[in-house]
Amino acid sequence: MAEESGKKWVLMVTAQTPTNIAVIKYWGKRDEKLILPINDSISVTLDPSHLCTTTSVAVSPDFTHDRMWLNGKEISLSGGRYQNCLRELRARASEVEDEEKGIKITKKDWEKLHVHVASYNNFPTAAGLASSAAGFACLVFSLAKLMNVKEDQSKLSAIARQGSGSACRSLYGGFVKWIMGKEEDGSDSVAVQLADENHWDDLVIIIAVVSSRQKETSSTSGMLETVETSMLIQHRAKEVVPKRIIQMEEAIKNRDFPSFARLSCADSNQFHAVCLDTSPPIFYMNDTSHRIISCVEKWNRFEGTPQVAYTFDAGPNAVLISHNRKTAALLLQRLLFHFPPNSDTDLNSYVIGDKTILQDAGIQNMKDVEALAPPPEIKDNIPTQKYKGDVSYFICTKPGRGPVLLTDECQALLDPKTGLPK
Amino acid sequence: MAEESGKKWVLMVTAQTPTNIAVIKYWGKRDEKLILPINDSISVTLDPSHLCTTTSVAVSPDFTHDRMWLNGKEISLSGGRYQNCLRELRARASEVEDEEKGIKITKKDWEKLHVHVASYNNFPTAAGLASSAAGFACLVFSLAKLMNVKEDQSKLSAIARQGSGSACRSLYGGFVKWIMGKEEDGSDSVAVQLADENHWDDLVIIIAVVSSRQKETSSTSGMLETVETSMLIQHRAKEVVPKRIIQMEEAIKNRDFPSFARLSCADSNQFHAVCLDTSPPIFYMNDTSHRIISCVEKWNRFEGTPQVAYTFDAGPNAVLISHNRKTAALLLQRLLFHFPPNSDTDLNSYVIGDKTILQDAGIQNMKDVEALAPPPEIKDNIPTQKYKGDVSYFICTKPGRGPVLLTDECQALLDPKTGLPK
C-alpha cells in the first residue's frame, strides 16, 4: 500500500446472500457474547431472487473510519455484533494484490484500513423475515472476499454467527444444519450443508406476511428470558431437539415430506410453547397465525397425509412449505379464500415472488379470488369465515442457493470511485 | 316403601354448588374412564352468589326412569359420566325415613327407584366458566343428601371426579387441592380443603368473559391429545408441577400474594404452552387474552411487585385475582380503559357481580369510562390502543364457600308434588 500512497483507489466486492427459515428452531444461548446455542438447528435457505440481502464492501486508504449504510440510511457500526465480525475478519485478512489497478494491500495494512459497507434487503426489513440473518451473512461473506480471508465457508459461518446466530446458516444454500458445538470459544459452533437446493427441488414455499398491531419482543431478549425463566426449555434443548435433529436429517436425506412436515410443525409449535412458558410470556403468533395453522391442519388431516408444513419465527408471519407445485397452488387457493386482500389492494402486489404459482392456481384477477369455492375439508354446516386484510401479502418462493459474488458492477451499492453509496 | 305403595309421594333435596378456577392446572389423565389426573392441582372456589349451579334432585315411586333438566331443557342421562356418578351413589345409599310424610326408603329400594334432576347455572353455560365442574359437584352433593350417603366430603369428591375431573374441587369452599392419588381404582384421587374462604378474604376476582369467534377444543379431547402427542407434558407433570404444588400450598398458607401470583401466572402459561405443544396444536387464548396478560404484566412490572394474578382455563376468558379491593378497583379501571363496552352496551350489564368494585373505581356511568386516563405504566410515546367490544362482560367476585343445602322450598327447581320442573 505504501508504494501506492498518494494515488487514489477503491477496492470493492459485492455479494448477495439468502435468508433462511429454521425448521428445527434455534431458541436459547449458552453464551450471549459468542452467540452459542443450547441446541442444534436446521434450516431451509430461501431463494435469493425473492428474499436476499445485497452488500457491497469497499476499502480505500482515503476512508477515515468504518461506515455502513442499510437500505440507503447510514447506521452505526459501533455495536458489539458488528465489531465482533469486523475484528474476526481483520485478524484473518491476507495480502491482496490487484495488478491492473496497481493496488497491493499487505496483511498488516488491514489493521489500519477502513471499510465502507452498503447493504440492501429486497424485502421490508421490519416484516420479520430474518433480515439480520441474511445481513450478517452477507457482511461476513463479502468482507471475507474483499480481505482475501482464506478460511472455508464453515469457518466463516462461525464469524457470521457472532453477528446474528441464525446468520451462520445463510452461508449455504439448500438445507443447512447449525451444529451447536462443545468448545467454550465457539470454534466448533458452525453451519454445515446437509444437502444443496437441487437435492429436493419440488418444494414450494409460500410466506404469509401477517399484519400485526403489536411490537414484538426481539429474539435476542426473548430467548434470554426464556432460558432464564422457562421450566421447559432445558428439557426441549436436551431431550427433544437432539432426537428431532436426527429425524429431520433423515427426512431431508430421503425427501420424506410427511416426516419433514410433521417435524417442522411440531418444532415450530414447541418453540412458541416455550415462549409462552417464559415469564413474562412471549406471544409471537396472533389470531391470524392461529387461523393459518388451523387451515393447514384441517387440510392435512382431510387428505390423510401432510400436504403443507408450517413454521413461524419470532413474529406472526407464516412460512408454508408445500410438497410440490400442485399442492402449492391448492394452498394458495385456500389462503386467498380465507384471507382475501383488502378491496384497495391489487392482486399483483398481494401475491409476489414466483407468480407462476398464482397461474397454476388459476387465479388471474380479483374476480377469480372472489369466485374461489370453500375447500372440501370445510364442513358444510360451519359458516366459513373470511379474514379480509389480516394478511399483508404473500411471497411465493422456494429453497435456494447460498451466497454468490456479483461481478456486474452495476449491481454494486457503492460508487467504485468514491466508495460512497450510489 | 312397600307399605306406602299406592300413596303418592316425592322426596326432594335442593343444593347450591360453586364453580372453581385452578391456579395450578389439571391437564392430562392417566385413566380416561375413572378420570385420574397425571398431576395434583389447586383451585380457588368462586363465590356462588355470582357463579354457581343450583340443583334439585327428587325421588318418587312414580318416576319411571332417571331424568334430568339443565337450565329448563331436558338432557340425556345416558352418558357414561352421569351413569358413573349415579351408580356410585346408589351403591352407597342408605335408609331414609321421613316420618312426617310417612316415607320409608330402604337401602335396597334405591336400586329400583328413579330420580329426577333439575339443574340451573346462574351464568351462561357456554361462556367457558367451568359449568361442568359446578354441575357434577352439585349433582353428586344433592343426590348424596337425598340418598343419605354417609361418606365424607372427600369420598364424595371422588365420585364427582368421575363426572368431571375438576368437579371434585367444587365440593369445598376456599382453597382446594385435588390429590392425584396412586391407586388404580382412583379411591385416593380426592379433593381436600387447604383453607376455607375466610382464610384469605381480601382477594378480589374479576373475570373477563372474552368474545370468541372460534369453536374451542373440548378439554376432554384436548388433554387426551396433549398426553398422546406433547413432548413436554410429562416433564411438566412429573418435574414442574410437584414443586409448584408445594410452593402454592405455602403461598396460600402464608397469604403470600407475590408468590401466589407468580405461580398462578406461570402455571396458566405453562398449561397453554403444553396445549400449543400438542399435535395438532390447541389454542385457547386469543389476541384479547394476550392483551389482558400484557396489561397485567406491564402493571405488575411497573409496581415492582404483583398487584394481580391471571389464569386462563380451556378458553379465552381471563380470571384475574387481585390482592385486595384497592388493586381490584385499579384493575377494573385499566380493564375498562383498554376494553370499553360496545356503544350499545349498558355499563350495568357490562360489569356484573359485586358492583361495589365499580363504585370503588369511581365509575358510575359510561362517561366515567370514557374519561379514564391511560394508566401510568403506559409509556407516553406509545399511542394507547383501545379494544372496544373485545370483552363481552366482566364479573366481579371473590373466593367463596363450598356446597350448601337450600331449605327454602321456593328455591327448588322441581315441583314438590309432581317432581317435574316448576
CB contact under 8 A, A269 and B283: no
Q: Which of B240, B290, B297 sits opposite A231 (nearest CB)?
A: B240
| Interface probe, candidates B228, B240, B269, chain A, greatest A C-beta count within 10 A | B269
Banded pLDDT at B211 (limits 50, 70, 90)? confident
Task: For A203-241, write each residue's pLDDT tens digit.
Answer: 999 999 997 766 678 999 999 999 999 999 999 999 999
Distance from CA of B28 to the nearest CA of A (A): 17
| A113 half-sphere exposure, CB direction, 13 A CA radius | 30
In chain A, the residue whose alpha carbon lies closest to the alpha carbon of B244 is A231
Q: What percent of chain B has pLDDT over 70?
A: 95
Residue A5 predicted with pLDDT over 90: no
Backbone torsions φ then ψ of B258, nearest 5 degrees: -55, -45
Banded pLDDT at B132 (limits 50, 70, 90)? confident
Q: What is the pLDDT of residue B358?
A: 96
Q: What is the pLDDT of residue A2?
A: 45
Banded pLDDT at B125 (limits 50, 70, 90)? low
Distance from CA of A274 to the nearest CA of B (A): 6
- The residue assigned the cell 435456494 is A400
Cβ atoms A194, A252 nearer than 8 A = yes
Residue A285 predicted with pLDDT over 70: yes
Least confident segment among A124-138, A182-196, B175-189 = A124-138
Task: For B312-363, write each residue's pLDDT tens digit.
Answer: 999 999 999 999 999 999 999 999 999 999 988 899 999 999 999 999 999 9
Amino acid found at A100: E
- The residue assigned the cell 485478524 is A91
Residue A325: exposure state from Cβ atoms within 10 A (0-12, 13-18, ≥19)? middle
Banded pLDDT at A126 (limits 50, 70, 90)? low
Q: What is the pLDDT of residue B385?
A: 83
Q: What is the pLDDT of residue A36?
A: 98
Domains and CATH numbers, chain B: 2-199+402-411 (3.30.230.10), 204-397 (3.30.70.890)
Which residues of B are less than 8 Å from A309 in CB distance? none
Residue A4 predicted with pLDDT over 80: no
Q: What is the pLDDT of residue B6?
A: 54
Amino acid found at A193: Q
Q: What is the pLDDT of residue B337?
A: 96
Q: What is the pLDDT of residue B127?
A: 62
Q: What is the pLDDT of residue A217?
A: 86
CB contact under 8 A, A270 and B232: yes
CB contact under 8 A, A273 and B276: yes
Banded pLDDT at B204 (limits 50, 70, 90)? very high
Q: What is the pLDDT of residue B2?
A: 45
Question: Which H or E run contains A195?
Answer: strand A191-195
CB contact under 8 A, B272 and A276: yes
- Please give the average per-residue pLDDT across A128-140, as a whole number: 88
How far apart CA A20 and CA A30 sit, in angstroms, is 22
Distance from CA of B381 to the nearest CA of A (A): 13
- Please give the average per-residue pLDDT across B404-415, as a whole number: 95
Residue B217 predicted with pLDDT over 90: no
CB contact under 8 A, A266 and B287: no
Region class of A184: left (phi > 0), else alpha (psi between -120 and 50), else beta? alpha
**Closest by CA position to B88, among listed B186, B3, B200, B13:** B186
CB contact under 8 A, A269 and B281: yes
In chain A, the residue whose alpha carbon lies closest to the alpha carbon of B301 is A280
How far apart CA A333 and CA A360 sit, in angstroms, is 10
Residue B272: exposure state from Cβ atoms within 10 A (0-12, 13-18, ≥19)? buried
Q: What is the pLDDT of residue B290?
A: 97
Distance from CA of B241 to the nearest CA of A (A): 10
How far apart CA A359 and CA A347 sit, in angstroms, is 12
Question: Which residues, in sequence order, are CB contacts of B97 under 8 Å at separation 6+?
Answer: B103, B104, B105
Banded pLDDT at A334 (limits 50, 70, 90)? very high
Q: What is the pLDDT of residue B381?
A: 62
Q: What is the pLDDT of residue B380?
A: 66
Residue A42 predicted with pLDDT over 50: yes
